[in-house]
Amino acid sequence: MRTAIIVLLLVLSHAVEAQTRIKMTLDWRFEGQTSFMWLGLARGYFQQEGLEVQVDAGTGSTAAIQRIHTGAYDMGLGDMSALIEYYGNNAGQTRLQMVYLQYDEAPLAYYALKKSGARTIADLAGKSISGQPFEVTRKMFPVFAKAANIDPASVKWVTVDSQLRSNAVITGAAFACGGFFTVPLEFEARGVKREDIVELKVSDVGVRVYGNGLMVSNKLIAENPKAVQGFVRAMNRSFREMLANPDASIKALNARDPLTQYKQEMERLSLLRPAIETARTRTTGFGYVDKATLEKQIEYVASSVSLKSRPKAEELFNSSFLPPQQERLPLK
């Protein structure tokens, strides 16, 4: 009996040691749109793949890329345009790839007070916009301005902390601000009703760019592709279930971070959902990247920021870890 117990303990010990440790950084704080990670961890999906995953909050896509580049993290969530810029300015030194897309369409828009009279992005001509230099709505504004037939140089940028961008609009320091579809929550937190805000979506001027996705270090891809495959499989499973059952996903987030508010995070996920679950993803499945669309995005980025070289689509996105299409379709 004693021998059997010892053998069992050794087996269990070996199983624990066999767990591959993964250090992941989010693109931002613990919020509704990334609650799928907590849902998957709570339901044991990552553990079933032999993975012990540590998830940390982030401070933006550029920071997430830097964390992976330096080897401090194995993977993380970040913006495709930021990844294109990273590749374009670090030829021969790139150390990560995107393997799964979160946003089929970057959830980008500009926001102004309705009383301003703004109705389209063209109405931003000659006005001021608040935002940080690293924000994609600022970096790529020349592309959006060109599509709206206005001179991007006519716009004055007001540099403020990202958390104060809506406040700059409310106080009159700026005409509008840019950001994700969740910016209305920032206005509401400052007493401005949703109906008093106007949303000027980038997609309204015919520009489609991919948003954030899962980026993985080339080192992990080369040394342990099985772990990457398992992580993507678990993430895809969690991602689909988050969209099918937001209530359970947000509750998993609340359990991980009690300071998050259920109602607010449900609303945040709801606002971002149109950029995640689109007519395209209902056909192609989640996580997928179309080469032609990505090549167009590379052109957009190259025309907006200074690049030493122009990366290729196949360098940026590695589709070899995607689960079969049927397993990536929205759950009914």
| Beta strands, E only, the chain | 20-25, 51-56, 75-79, 96-101, 108-113, 128-130, 156-158, 176-180, 197-201, 212-217
Q: What is the mean pLDDT of residues 117-134?
A: 96
pLDDT at 240 over 90: yes
Closest Cα partner for 301 from 34, 28, 106, 154?
A: 106
pLDDT at 12 over 70: no
pLDDT of the residue at 15: 45
* Cβ(288)–Cβ(328) below 8 Å: yes
**Per-domain boundaries in the chain:** 20-104+210-327, 108-205
pLDDT of the residue at 179: 96
Same fold? 20-104+210-327, 108-205: yes
Please provide the average confidence, as pLDDT, over all residues in the chain.
94
pLDDT at 75 over 60: yes
Q: How far, in Å, CA of 331 to CA of 314, rounded?
A: 29
Give the pLDDT band of residue 205 (cuts 50, 70, 90). very high
pLDDT at 1 over 80: no
Q: What is the mean pLDDT of residues 105-129?
A: 98
* Cβ(128)–Cβ(174) below 8 Å: yes
Quick count: other Cβ atoms within 10 Å of Cβ 121? Answer: 23
Q: How far, in Å, CA of 276 to CA of 33, rounded?
A: 10
Q: What is the pLDDT of residues 215-224, one digit of tens each?
A: 999 999 999 9
CATH of the domain spanning 20-104+210-327: 3.40.190.10
Q: What is the pLDDT of residues 262-311, one digit of tens each?
A: 999 999 999 999 999 999 999 999 999 999 999 999 999 999 999 999 99
Q: What is the mean pLDDT of residues 101-126?
A: 98
| Residue-wise DSSP of 232-292 | HHHHHHHHHHHHH-HHHHHHHHHHH-TTS-HHHHHHHHHHHHHHHS-TTHHHH-TB---HH
pTM: 0.92
pLDDT at 81 over 60: yes
Q: What is the mean pLDDT of residues 224-242?
A: 98
pLDDT of the residue at 92: 87
pLDDT at 8 over 70: no
Closest Cα partner for 56 from 34, 40, 71?
A: 34
* Cβ(267)–Cβ(259) below 8 Å: no
- Looking at 3.30.43.10, 1.20.1440.230, 3.40.190.10, 2.60.120.200, the CATH number of the domain 108-205 comes to 3.40.190.10
Percent of the chain's residues with pLDDT above 70: 95
Which backbone phi and psi does 29 adopt, to 5 degrees? -70, 175
Quick count: other Cβ atoms within 10 Å of Cβ 279? Answer: 8
Give the pLDDT band of residue 2 (cuts 50, 70, 90). low
pLDDT at 14 over 90: no
Give the pLDDT band of residue 162 (cuts 50, 70, 90). confident
pLDDT at 66 over 70: yes
pLDDT at 131 over 50: yes
Q: What is the pLDDT of residues 288-299, one digit of tens each?
A: 999 999 999 999
pLDDT of the residue at 226: 98
pLDDT of the residue at 332: 83
Beta bridge partners of 109: 179, 201
Helix (H, G, I), strand (E, B), or coil: what is residue 180?
strand
Q: What is the mean pLDDT of residues 42-61?
A: 97
